[in-house]
Chains A and B, each alone.
Chain A
Amino acid sequence: MESKVSENIRINAANIAHKELNSMVKQAVMRGVKRIELFNVHGQRYIGTDIFEPVEITIEGTPGNDLGAFMNGQRLLVYGNAQDGSGNTMNGGEIIIHGHAGDITGLAVRGGQILVRDDVGYRAGIHMKEYKEKKPVFIVGGTAQDFAGEYMAGGVMVLLGLNLEPGSKHNSRYIGTGMHGGIIYIRGDFEDYQLGKEVGVAELDEADIKQLSGLVNIYTGHFGGDATSILNGKFKKLYPRSLRPYGRLYAY
């Protein structure tokens, strides 16, 4: 008779280092476990890295830096806040953070989805890129610190601004500096000086509204809220004014 592998496992992450914790996770995945719940997580790095099965990992507590770095199709659910570098150079999968996330969240992401219920730190979504069907999505419920979407080369970033006080503006300055691909949808107020000089501003067209409506529904599907009233807010589309922002830099 075949031995049955338990589909689910719970791991207490208290007082173990990242290498050990990740090794336990990898071993569980190799045994065929499909859902892993980590609790008492307190700053262990690289959770979700180097896994090649489509598993779901639930994280209770505070995962450390580089959550899901180089991740390739797994699903990470964080019940708490994430630190810096979540989704670093991620290739596919989902990171869903029920809280806020630190700096360089979504650095160089090339595929998959990152959803943050609240705010993100500095340089979020920096150098996101896309290639053919690989088109990353990064949705932030709140606002971002400076340099959101810097060097953006592809994908879609959404800043919903849900927690902005009436009359207040988004935090980020230098939004989309060096942007040469991708799209940022931004809801709520900002001043022109908050944008990088490579960024253009446009109203949403029908295709944008259709795309955005799908993305907002993904957000409310995870974190609750009323998609229609969010979509009724004031959105602008930020786009790269040139695919070659540095084309005229050189003598020849």
Chain B
Amino acid sequence: MKSYLPTKFIIERDREQCISCQVCINQCTCQAHYFDSQDNEVYARPEKCVSCHRCVVFCPTGALRVRRNTSEYRDNYNWRPEIVDDITKQAESGGVLLTGMGNDKPYKIYWDHLLLNASQVTNPSIDPLREPMELATYLGQKPDSVQVGPDNTLAKNLPPQLKLDVPVMFSAMSYGAVSLNVQHSLARAAAESGTYWNTGEGGLHHSLYDYAESTIVQVASGRFGVFADYLNAGAAVEIKIGQGAKPGIGGHLPGEKVSADVSLTRMIPEGTDAISPAPHHDIYSIEDLAQLIWALKEATNYTRPISVKIAAVHNASAIASGMVRAGADIVVIDGLRGSTGAAPKVIRDSVGIPIELALASVDSRLRQEGIRNRASLVIAGGIRNSSDVAKAIALGADAVYIGTAALVALGCHVCQQCHTGKCSWGICTTDPGYTRRINPEIGARRLNNLLRGWSLEIKDMLGGLGVNALESLRGNRLHLRGVSLTDSELEILGVRMAGR
């Protein structure tokens, strides 16, 4: 069938600068460049280009530009090009449209409507260059009260806690969705920066057991690679109920991505589909969730915090209350912008609620019920920079997960082709020819640099607020003001309008 889809991008090659070295051909995973031996020239197949910029970055003479194709549809606010293209794709394939990364639609980003305070005159700001600033964060259940013994130590042991030197962890990204080199980069950076990375639901490769103390192991509905050693390997166990990119649905890792090594870690035969059902079939209620939480506590002999992750959905606050009462030590909420290696486009773009609103309502609800101390609150989904982190903490989060930001640090250019398995940056692929493009040592250095940069910025923001510990900002919504928000939005966020 002839495809009616228009070419999305144009590849411009400056002939004066091109030296026909063919680096672009070797770097492109979509065959968008080719060499014509008769002309002795490199040409483009622009219809294949996904605008990942791999060739642009690696062209040694800077001869390449990728631009949007300028041939425009007639203006129509209703029948926009994306909508016309989607219908065309479905007419030509008859299937569910898949996509990667997070929701790219212009829903309001509340972080951009929240502003932090700073001290002026009436209380002094603190200079983080000469004053110590405390970012240490402990995740886990906190008791209602503590008793201190005569020797100034705790009379009763605290429930198990995770200690973070920086309140930013790496989101669950499974082996299979991302490459082993990506996981090595994340694990090494987590260990070196004093934070945690998360296995996702694909099991833990044996080469990563060295980083166990910085690892959160995940248990999802497919139960891939879950067994006693795995559960006890991690510093915490996370039950994945849902994911911001695809609330309410399961996952299918297609058989062609289940290589020998992926099959070893997932503990399923090579080449078979890895199917994660939409629900855990042992969890149809809060009581059932409690059963799995306590099964995992029993399986780890009550030495690990148990985290439960849900997607931010309409009733997230009531559900979160149930999760805490079910025994979750850490509650994770993944918002509308949460990313994925593959999800139906219609789900990614239309299901869930913005994380800022979900966070504010969950934190408020747990406080109202007097159970906020019984679990830590971690959010995920679209955290882009240190000010998003600081605002999330002021809204009530204990820490955040970053996924896309971490991958961008590794090279991702957010071309949203994760589901194709042809990631030119070697991130979201298991093809050994491409996965080599990530060097775990360099990857870890890039991630450490990012976390260091964000930590310094967070310390600057704290100093400006006149506080010297992240704990003083946590849940302190008086440090936030809103701009361009409605009364309802301000009410849900628990934030005053700027100027008030």
Q: Which residues of A contact B222 (CB under 8 A)?
A: 108, 127
A49 touches B295 (CB 8 A): yes
Counted as pairs of residues, one from A and one from B, with CB atoms less than 8 Å apart, the total is 133
A72 touches B227 (CB 8 A): yes
B97 at the interface (CB under 8 A from A): yes
A250 touches B98 (CB 8 A): yes
User: How far in angstroms is the closest Cβ of chain A from B87?
Assistant: 11
Closest to A104 in B: B282
B137 at the interface (CB under 8 A from A): no
B-contacting residues, A72-116, CB 8 Å: 72, 84-85, 88-89, 91, 104, 107-108, 110
A185 at the interface (CB under 8 A from B): no
B228 touches A246 (CB 8 A): no
Closest to A85 in B: B282
A91 touches B227 (CB 8 A): yes
A153 interface neighbour in B90, B272, B291, Cβ under 8 Å = B272
A-contacting residues, B123-176, CB 8 Å: none
A251 touches B272 (CB 8 A): no
Query: Bound complex: CA of A123 vs CA of B221, how far in Å?
Result: 14
A50 touches B228 (CB 8 A): yes
B236 at the interface (CB under 8 A from A): no
Query: Bound complex: CA of A108 vs CA of B226, how far in Å?
Result: 10
Q: Pick out which of these stretches binds chain B: A6-14, A62-70, A161-169, A208-216.
A: A62-70
A244 touches B298 (CB 8 A): no
| Number of residues on chain A facing chain B (CB within 8 A) | 49
A41-72 vs B, Cβ < 8 Å mask (1 yes, 0 no):
00001100110100000000000011001111
Q: Pick out which of these stretches binds chain B: A128-136, A138-146, A188-196, A199-207.
A: A128-136
Contact status of A250 and B298, CB under 8 A, knowing A107-B281, A131-B267, A131-B269: no
B263 touches A123 (CB 8 A): no
Contact status of A252 and B281, CB under 8 A, knowing A46-B294, A154-B269, A243-B272: no
A-contacting residues, B90-111, CB 8 Å: 90, 92-98
Contact status of A251 and B227, CB under 8 A, knowing A131-B267, A178-B275, A181-B269: no
Contact status of A134 and B298, CB under 8 A, knowing A85-B291, A246-B275: no
Interface size bucket, B side? 35 or more
B92, B269, B282, B299, most chain A CB atoms within 10 A: B282
Query: Bound complex: CA of A240 vs CA of B89, how far in Å?
Result: 30
Q: Which residues of A contact B264 (CB under 8 A)?
A: 131
User: How far in angstroms is the closest Cβ of chain A from B259?
Assistant: 14
User: How far in angstroms is the closest Cβ of chain A from B493?
Assistant: 37
B98 interface neighbour in A70, A104, A245, A251, Cβ under 8 Å = A251
Query: Bound complex: CA of A46 vs CA of B299, how far in Å?
Result: 8
B281-314 vs A, Cβ < 8 Å mask (1 yes, 0 no):
1100000000110110011111000000000000
User: How far in angstroms is the closest Cβ of chain A from B147?
Assistant: 22
Closest to B252 in A: A246
A107 touches B282 (CB 8 A): yes
Q: Which residues of A contact B18 (CB under 8 A)?
A: none
Closest to A131 in B: B267
Taking beta carbons and an 8 Å cutoff, which residues of B are in contact with A? 89-90, 92-98, 222-223, 226-228, 231, 252, 254-255, 263-264, 267-269, 271-273, 275, 277, 281-282, 291-292, 294-295, 298-302, 420
21 A-B interface contacts by CB (under 8 A): A45-B295, A50-B300, A66-B282, A66-B292, A84-B282, A85-B291, A91-B227, A126-B281, A127-B277, A127-B281, A129-B267, A129-B268, A130-B269, A153-B272, A180-B275, A243-B272, A246-B275, A247-B254, A250-B95, A251-B90, A251-B93
Taking beta carbons and an 8 Å cutoff, which residues of A are in contact with B? 18-19, 22, 26, 45-46, 49-50, 52, 65-66, 69-72, 84-85, 88-89, 91, 104, 107-108, 110, 123, 126-127, 129-132, 134, 150-151, 153-154, 178, 180-181, 243-252
**A69-B298, A70-B226, A85-B291 are known contacts; what are 6 more A-B pairs with Cβ within 8 Å?**
A45-B295, A46-B294, A49-B295, A84-B282, A180-B273, A251-B96
